[in-house]
Amino acid sequence: MVFNVKEFIQLFILTGVLNVHLFAQENENTNDLLEHVDIVTLDVDQNLTKSIGLHNKHRYEINKVTREILESLELLTPSQINSFFEYKRKYGDFISIYELQAIPEWDILTTRKMISYLYVAEPQNIKGKFIENNERGFQQLLIRIGRTGSDATSSAYYSKKLKQTIIYRNTNFKNLSIGLSAEKDAGEKNAFDFTSFYIQKNYTKYFKHLIIGDYLVTMGQGLAHWQGYAFGKNTSTLSILRQAQNIKAHTGTEENRFCRGVAVEMAKRKTTFSYFVSIKKIDANIVYDSSANKKWVSSFLTSGLHRNDRELQDKHTLGIFNAGLIIKHSFSNGHVAFNSIYNKLNIPLQKRDLPYNTYSIKGKEWSNFSLDYIFSSRTGTFFGEIAADKKMSLGTIIGYLKNLNRNVDISLQWRNISASYNALWSNIIAHRSSANNEKGLNIGLNIKINTSFRVECFGDKFLHPFPTYSNDGAQRGHINALIFYWTPNKKNEMYIRIINKQQNNNLKMPNEKTNPSEITKSNQIRIHGNFHLNNAIELRMRDELLYSSSNLNEKHVGWLAYLEWILHPPMESYSLSYRITYYKTDNFDKSIYAIERDLPHYYSMNAYYNQGSSSYLLFQYQFSKQISFAGKWTMDKKYFTSKYLQGNPYTGISNDWRIQLTIKF
């Protein structure tokens, strides 16, 4: 085995840094992904916090980790996973974590991501047996309370806006885990507006996995069915590939997009059979026709909010039955799988009679089936999915990933989804996450110039041939993104991100029966820097500018700037963060998005629009290995022009706070 001495030293230092910082959160990797998804994903309406819930960052013994686990991390390409196991087959078990750098197709960036998930076990007794951290099990209780609202101080108002979450997980029993979630959103009246429960048993005599209660189902690339959160496209070549466990427990508080019933996964050699049956109620808007004594569903409601009488009337009004089958056969270099799902509603679905709803789902029953595959070889990784619905309308996704060498990666993704293709719960990598009425091509390129410089970019061109909600005719456009990273050393990093977008939309004119089409163009540039001033203080700063125009000479300019200080002394039990943000845009449609650091297992992506300032203070304290506390306080100010407000320079101050106690025992 040959090691790169310089990278070996970097890895050694990196390992030390990871060990001494007690406040390294599992949120950071997710936040990094979201930072580059925010402005290129069009219709993400999922709450990441609710989808993920209490997500524990396991560390896996490197010589026992499985292909399924590495895929579920969504940090490695299939080719890199194959290289991992090929290296292990050729040289035997790993004896040091530093061997990761010797794996073909793994560079220092890949190793930096994976080193916090893998470890080499030490002998635990004279017999030389190894014990994995996650085999010992744990119990964890999370209690989170917060308030969202203005500076009103009345007790009634305070109580109404209170938000509370309780999540409990127990994996102390051998191959058995139990989870319970309860939540009340701000403004809801019930103490626990939503509750969720599951029991999961793994590796029994008859089942590989058995889940009773609430669970999530994912299939292929998301054409036929996908539950839980999924990232949109970004500049990483890996972002066009979906990899996830087909069936997993629902550990969050998402109230509609999950299954409730029984899910079973059986394995015979290299083939797995997954079955699931679900019966539950979801929120929906029900329309009644008293004259004809009929009722139908006009739309699904996915916010999960029940704050007033109108929202309460729509709570759990639609019963839905789901049943499905997944047959997956694995090879040494990939897999092929057959997926099918059947949906039945107790009230027929009938959307409004508008052009873009011409091919929408109608009636009480719907079904989808698909074939998905992933294969890796020396020529690259090929993946894709072809799906059909009840009416045999088709949707297709084909993708390709290739490591040209250790420094250059390329990616291609082509999609062709018929205007008549539909699925109740689809979620794909495309201009719109729902699989319907889209043709597109995505080309990505990642180049590592040297240890200090790297470039990531992609271009995505799309076409919606049939009318959409925002355009009465064919809608077409493109998104181009480029990020240039400069990492002079392990403590500092800067990047410049440039986004160019163009598409046509309806231009609504007063007293006009038709909507002329307007071509809008936008350019966005971000300059961001992370600087470790010393071992205890990190400084983050950002400037972002947005410029948009249309063929009707309408121009909009927006900007955002923030400065953030993070205090995390080595070997200390506390961490402190403070950020101040200033912004100005014309309206909500021209929002600039930014991710904030937040409580463990909580994620904040904010849309900044109009004019104002926002600041937050985040505090975390580790009382012991078992007990930790975190709290965050946020203050927002909104400014408007004088024609909207007289007297005060702002409409008011919004004070939000949340605190969290986590107990492991």
User: SS in 3 state form for 425-456?
Assistant: CCCCCCCCCCCCCEEEEEEEEEEECCCCEEEE
Residues 6+ apart with CB under 8 A from 61: 118, 119, 120, 121, 130, 132, 133
Window from 146-160, 313-327, 437-451, 510-524 with minimum mean pLDDT: 146-160
pTM: 0.86
42: pLDDT strictly greater than 50: no
pLDDT at 187: 81
Give pLDDT tens digits for 328-375: 998 888 899 999 999 999 999 998 888 889 999 999 999 999 999 999
pLDDT at 406: 80
Percent of the chain having pLDDT more than 70?
Answer: 85
636: pLDDT strictly greater than 80: yes
pLDDT at 328: 95
Interval 27-47 mean pLDDT: 59
pLDDT band of 191, cuts 50, 70, 90: confident
Mean pLDDT of the chain: 84
Give pLDDT tens digits for 261-270: 999 999 888 8
Tokens of 597: 């650091």
224: pLDDT strictly greater than 90: yes
Interatomic CA distance for residues 557 and 505, integer angstroms: 19
Report the greatest alpha carbon distance in the chain.
86
**Cα dihedral sign for 387, 388, 389, 390?**
negative
pLDDT at 25: 47
DSSP string over 284-328? EEEEEETTTTEEEEEEE--S----SHHHHHTTT-EEEEEEEEEEE
pLDDT at 470: 84
Q: Judging by beta carbons within 10 Å of its beta carbon (0-12, 13-18, 19+), is residue 249 exposed, middle or buried?
A: buried
pLDDT band of 22, cuts 50, 70, 90: very low
Regarding predicted confidence, which is higher, 618 or 43?
618
Interatomic CA distance for residues 353 and 624, integer angstroms: 60
Interatomic CA distance for residues 368 and 385, integer angstroms: 12
Tokens of 235: 């500049």
pLDDT at 56: 56
What is the total residue count of the chain? 665
Give pLDDT tens digits for 388-422: 999 999 999 999 999 888 889 999 999 999 999 99
* Amino acid letter, residue 288: Y
* Amino acid letter, residue 325: L
Cα-based torsion angle of the residue sequence 508, 510, 512, 513 in order, rounded to the nearest 10 degrees: 70
Give pLDDT tens digits for 557-615: 999 999 999 999 988 899 999 999 999 998 888 889 898 899 988 888 888 988 899 99
123: pLDDT strictly greater than 60: no
* Amino acid letter, residue 648: N
Regarding predicted confidence, which is higher, 103 or 444?
444
Regarding predicted confidence, which is higher, 432 or 321?
321
Interatomic CA distance for residues 591 and 413, integer angstroms: 28
Tokens of 465: 């041939």
Regarding predicted confidence, which is higher, 444 or 572?
444
Interval 47-73 mean pLDDT: 75
459: pLDDT strictly greater than 80: yes
In terms of phi and psi (left: phi > 0; alpha: psi -120 to 50; beta: otherwise), the region of 161 is alpha
19: pLDDT strictly greater than 60: no
Interatomic CA distance for residues 538 and 534, integer angstroms: 7
pLDDT band of 175, cuts 50, 70, 90: confident
pLDDT at 661: 95
Question: At which residue do the structure tokens 């700037």 appear?
Answer: 561
pLDDT at 205: 79
Q: Identify the DSSP state of 551.
A: T
pLDDT at 657: 92
Q: Judging by beta carbons within 10 Å of its beta carbon (0-12, 13-18, 19+), is residue 205 exposed, middle or buried?
A: exposed
Q: Check: CB of residue 482 under 8 Å from CB of residue 235.
A: yes
| 3-class DSSP assignment, residue 14 | helix
pLDDT at 649: 53
| 3-class DSSP assignment, residue 8 | helix
466: pLDDT strictly greater than 60: yes
58: pLDDT strictly greater than 60: yes
pLDDT at 449: 92
pLDDT band of 45, cuts 50, 70, 90: low
pLDDT at 289: 83
Nearest to 133 by CA among 38, 31, 57: 57
pLDDT at 420: 95
Q: Check: CB of residue 134 under 8 Å from CB of residue 74.
A: no
Interval 303-326 mean pLDDT: 91
164: pLDDT strictly greater than 50: yes
Tokens of 132: 């994995």
Question: What does residue 186 show for φ and ψ, rounded to 5 degrees?
Answer: -60, 130
Residues 6+ apart with CB under 8 A from 155: none
In terms of phi and psi (left: phi > 0; alpha: psi -120 to 50; beta: otherwise), the region of 30 is alpha
Other residues' Cβ atoms within 10 Å of the Cβ of residue 652: 12
Percent of the chain having pLDDT more than 90?
Answer: 47
